[in-house]
Structure 1
């Protein structure tokens, strides 16, 4: 299974089964279980319905340790599911049942893995909720590539050879500064959607954000973490989700966050470089993608003249993008021949693409076209999520690349590593009370093909059925909670969510100049999955750890009054 190239950024158990392993205490059970205990041998014989199994929370607890930058950390790992319901569900009512189909109301069993450092007071210990995007992706990428206690080793900018893969201690896990909760989106991981109209209830911008909001509030309550410093960490579409969830947590649940950490941001889909060709007269995405094109051409040595300093070079490109390039695009088809020629030549200097190709494209090259054309003379397609990667072209005559070489290069490693880790270390996915004892971990769902992208912005009377724009949501969260800090992390070689797009969006949040001081932005010489480069991962860890450490204050002992 590989991440598909797309135009959009895109129960209860009847018994308690106790399993014992060296250094591990495991209990398969609902989090709230009746006072009833069946022998393990008897439970293993039982075959329970899918809706029963996925309709109530599950939990498996194990122990482990990790060494982070020389510090040994013992932790407890809890992997399991929590159940969230469709919008408007009232927990004081019995579940509604469709009398014809005998189906309960829609619900989502959301899978998570939580890591709690042992020997610390929960109220003094930050907790960070982490998820990927898609929409329709599990959190395996951030879990096994960035911040979990174990990490899969992949090649830096080339295809990782097939199994066996190396799973190692993660020296850059965030467990040194925060407890971690990796959350899989509804319909992914070991969670499932159940009930009538289940996809409609959870596969949409607002429905998804509501599910994550409910999950986080429920998690804080079940594990007694309401008084802990709290953070969101979302990647890609996860940044879109975070903007909404940050606001909904405060508005709907009375939960203020200490910080929102964004990785590879897209908050306004009008800035999407993949869908811009379908939106004539909107030229901003071309402007915002140009610096990432330039960084990619620089990396692959495709420029007419090489530049020794990447960052200095990109500052020059950014200036051109906001000035002469923007002016040329604003002219539309009224542009003069001289201005067209001068702009095409400059674009050639900054991207390496042929001048005639640039002119045929009317000075406007989409992400897919750039990925196809940059190394087309070598019959290579350039990576989308990480443009340091290249792969053999599938069709030499096509206008766009039909796959993402970066996803093909490392997805298999992540999938194999997590399946091994979940079953053999976390001991999840092999329940003796469920069917034949095997559950499939779903790395992706087909949610994006059915996603409802309409979104009701804060204080709006109705949802907008167009390109999603959650800048007002993040702005609302920051205005209601002026101490909320925001951190944006970006890779220079990301053609899915170009780094200059994120900078532009942060500068155009509808907030005051004073509140904009709550935002910090960091760039890395990597791609969309910044952590795919080892040096960048270490930098990312250090920057995020510093951000978390500086944005909360541990409670001082106080005398009871």
Structure 2
């Protein structure tokens, strides 16, 4: 009995162990399924909303499909890292022979709201055209006959951290927020859109405003700068250009910042009646010639500048800028833009705008050295924010609890400004060589540059300087100028002119 009992217990234990062992794969399978279900629940399904609409653009009645949708970018490990929102306007029925224009704004951190709701989208927000504050809502949302849908399909891109686009939880901002990182993400979105919409052989244009011009130089390098899978482009469209960043940094010893902003000061002084000239074009040209001649010579001489030379330069500088010789003498002939905004109209108790010097504001008091705020930004921002939210949410049906980031702070807080290209220590940030390289290696690539006379954020002389450097083919550049500032399209006459100029540029391919 004892032996039989031991045998039974041994057999029972073995069966129990075998049963437990057999249950392990089943338990593991159940756990795997639960983990997969949880992961699947966390995964984002891209939202796409489309509407069939019609409008009159460039004098033509056109049916088009408006689509606002999400593109999800993943990391090497398959993790969903970024959700990028694009808004496209494609003529119906689809015609793959039509050009496609990929568009974004600047910042970094700015959504595409400005160009979409102000310049080239099928709808635009109505704000005062004469440099007055946009006031309180409601802000009329109007049909936009100046939209470019008659000559190209339009794809507005909100890079990560702008508009409704965002990084998912756990994504390292360093992977997307930077000169090169941002360009890689935008280029990937463009490739995906081309592939999904069957547009590989369509003519293609790329462009943006402000930092969007910097982004264009970086993205064209991503699209055309490799050896394989290049995306050929027909044109680069730059609005309010900033490529060479030294031209806007008045750090001690950097004389170019003063040289390149002098023509803007002359233009602003002319607009506000502080200097006399036949036209803004005339005073701007006088200032250009003085800036690269006697003024540049004087600044580069430093403390070797003679008293007689200093007096002559000071007098001409006063004539061109409307500032007193006494003020210029105290500033050592070097007036920063921020000081100029406050000083030009101090006698009237007004400041002028940075984005658009036509705008004026009134500070808390008149004694400060620099303005309290930029009247050319707070004069328009509320109208644009209301318009983009109304259009995307209510008219196109995009559903989200996220706030639209017209000027998002997050990207700028993490932005990597290094080129990472082996160019020395990257102390001198200039992305214009990428434009030159792309144009030299693509004989069909042309460039359109739009500048406002009254733009201090990206001075017109700085754009001219950066684009006439060695290595950039000059015979394929088109420059156009407008009687407003950074966002010249806020002025009705200039929005019409800008669209007409771009229609001609695109049709001339």
TM-score by length of 1: 0.80
Shift of 1:463: 7.5
The 8 Å contact of residues 270 and 283 in structure 2, kept in 1 or not, is answered as no
Q: Counterpart of 1:75?
A: 64
Q: Distance in 2 between matches of 1:475 and 1:491?
A: 23
The 8 Å contact of residues 354 and 456 in structure 2, kept in 1 or not, is answered as yes
Q: Distance in 2 between matches of 1:550 and 1:255?
A: 20
Q: Distance in 1 between matches of 2:389 and 2:221?
A: 34
**2:242 aligned to 262, 266, 269, which one?**
266
Q: Counterpart of 1:289?
A: 261
The SS at the match of 1:158 is: coil
Shift of 1:195: 4.2
**1:365 aligned to 318, 330, 335, which one?**
335
Q: Distance in 1 between matches of 2:378 and 2:285?
A: 32
Q: Counterpart of 1:26?
A: none
Q: Counterpart of 1:452?
A: 416
Q: Distance in 2 between matches of 1:329 and 1:523?
A: 28
Q: Counterpart of 1:61?
A: 50
**2:213 aligned to 221, 239, 246, which one?**
239
Deviations 1:354-403 (A, max 9, x none): 11111111111111111111112222111001111011124533222232
Shift of 1:154: 0.9
The SS at the match of 2:479 is: strand
The 8 Å contact of residues 258 and 484 in structure 1, kept in 2 or not, is answered as yes
Q: Distance in 2 between matches of 1:355 and 1:493?
A: 23
Q: Distance in 2 between matches of 1:294 and 1:49?
A: 63
The SS at the match of 1:115 is: strand
1:145 equivalenced with 2:118 (yes/no): yes
**1:384 aligned to 340, 343, 354, which one?**
354
Q: Distance in 2 between matches of 1:494 and 1:367?
A: 11
Shift of 1:197: 4.4
Q: Counterpart of 1:114?
A: 88
The 8 Å contact of residues 455 and 464 in structure 1, kept in 2 or not, is answered as no
Q: Counterpart of 2:468?
A: 507
Q: Distance in 2 between matches of 1:187 and 1:385?
A: 22
Q: What are the ranges of 5 or more consecutive residues in structure 1 without an aligned counterpart?
A: 1-47, 96-103, 431-437, 552-561
Shift of 1:410: 0.6
The 8 Å contact of residues 429 and 441 in structure 1, kept in 2 or not, is answered as no
**1:539 aligned to 497, 501, 506, which one?**
497
The 8 Å contact of residues 56 and 109 in structure 1, kept in 2 or not, is answered as no
1:198 equivalenced with 2:172 (yes/no): yes
The 8 Å contact of residues 471 and 510 in structure 1, kept in 2 or not, is answered as no
Shift of 1:49: 9.8
Q: Counterpart of 1:424?
A: 394
Shift of 1:440: 2.1
Q: What are the ranges of 5 or more consecutive residues in structure 2 without an aligned counterpart?
A: 1-36
Deviations 1:188-239 (A, max 9, x none): 2122101434311111111111111111111111111111110112100000
The 8 Å contact of residues 117 and 388 in structure 2, kept in 1 or not, is answered as yes
Q: Distance in 1 between matches of 2:167 and 2:428?
A: 26
**2:104 aligned to 131, 141, 145, which one?**
131
Distance 1:197 1:398, change over 3 A: farther
Q: How many residues align?
A: 469
The SS at the match of 1:400 is: coil
Distance 1:226 1:53, change over 3 A: farther
Q: Counterpart of 1:254?
A: 230
Q: Distance in 2 between matches of 1:188 and 1:53?
A: 22
Q: Distance in 1 between matches of 2:39 and 2:331?
A: 52
Q: Counterpart of 1:15?
A: none
Q: Distance in 2 between matches of 1:52 and 1:111?
A: 21
The SS at the match of 2:167 is: strand
The SS at the match of 1:327 is: helix
Deviations 1:449-480 (A, max 9, x none): 321100134xx3x6844342101211111122
Deviations 1:246-283 (A, max 9, x none): 121013441110000101001011111xx31x2x2221
Q: Counterpart of 1:40?
A: none
Q: Distance in 2 between matches of 1:176 and 1:147?
A: 11
Distance 1:260 1:51, change over 3 A: farther
1:328 equivalenced with 2:328 (yes/no): no
Q: Counterpart of 1:214?
A: 188
Which of these two proteins has the greater Rg computed from alpha carbons? 2
Q: Distance in 1 between matches of 2:107 and 2:455?
A: 15
Q: Distance in 2 between matches of 1:132 and 1:290?
A: 26
Distance 1:218 1:540, change over 3 A: same
The SS at the match of 1:517 is: helix
Shift of 1:69: 3.3
Q: Counterpart of 1:468?
A: 429
Q: Distance in 2 between matches of 1:429 and 1:392?
A: 39
Distance 1:117 1:313, change over 3 A: same
The 8 Å contact of residues 244 and 462 in structure 2, kept in 1 or not, is answered as no
Q: Is the deviation greater in 497-506 or in 250-259?
A: 250-259
